[in-house]
Amino acid sequence: MTSTTQPPEAPEHPQPALPPRLLRQVMAGYPTGIAVVAAVVQGRVVGLSANSFTSVSLDPPLVSVSFAKTSTTWPQLRTAPRWGISLLAETGDDTLSALRRPSRTRFEGLEVTTDGQAAHLGDSLARLTVELVDEVDAGDHVLTLLRVLELERDEEQLPLVFFDSRTHRLAR
């Protein structure tokens, strides 16, 4: 990690705060894929699902993920030098259900492969191995900037899509 960036200073004439519920409702109308960020920490796989995953730069290869500051998994992930990011395929509903379990049992029964400390789910649309470059304080979240070290994609699979607070599949 190279530095920690501070949030921009508040404007002279701040705008009234938007209700978080309204922002959540509006953003639910924007479809995303579902990423699972995982690493081996102190001998066990820790991780969580995230729909805040996005590509940032092709050269150098960078992606980002946001973590809620209230997350108990984020501080553990932060200690690992490398993370795995698995993009869920359309068959990933059961995986997503498992990831809603308490952190200690979250990965039980799931096919997980590890490469050093990066952990990936076996039946994923794509797998990336990343390392933390920077963190940005972003309100109630921490935005992470991640360097992509390795990646692969199964072009035969379609993604599991998160839209309107539910999962969906693309039409073939």
pLDDT tens, position by position, 112-158: 999 999 999 998 999 999 999 999 999 999 999 999 999 999 999 99
DSSP class of residue 132 equals E
Local structure of residue 50 (DSSP, 8 states): E
- Structure tokens of 117? 């400390």
Q: Give residue 73's identity as a one-letter amino acid code.
A: T
- For the stretch 31-53, pLDDT in tens is 889 999 999 999 999 999 998 99
Indicate the average pLDDT of the chain: 91
Kindly report which listed range (11-15, 53-57, 59-63, 65-69) carries the lowest average pLDDT score.
Answer: 11-15
Q: Which fold has domain 32-162?
A: Pnp Oxidase; Chain A (2.30.110)
pLDDT for residue 9 is more than 70: no
Q: What is the model's pLDDT at position 135?
A: 96
- What is the per-residue pLDDT across 98-123, written as a single tens digit (0 to 9) for each? 999 998 899 999 999 999 999 999 98
Does pLDDT of 8 surpass 90? no
pLDDT at 159 over 80: yes
Q: Using CA atoms, how far apart are residues 137 and 133, in angstroms rounded to an integer?
A: 14
Phi, psi of 170 (to 5 degrees): -75, 145
Looking up tokens 């990965």 gives: 107
Q: Comparing 49 with 15, which gets the higher pLDDT? A: 49
Predicted structure pTM score: 0.87
pLDDT over 90 for what percent of the chain? 71
Beta carbons of 24 and 140 less than 8 angstroms apart: no
Tell which residue, 172, 171, 159, has the closest CA to residue 31: 159
Could you give the CA distance from residue 35 to residue 126 in angstroms, rounded to a whole number?
A: 9
Rg (CA), the chain: 17
Apex 72 CA angle, 69 and 75, nearest 5 = 75
Give the angle 121-122-123 at the CA atoms, nearest 5°.
100
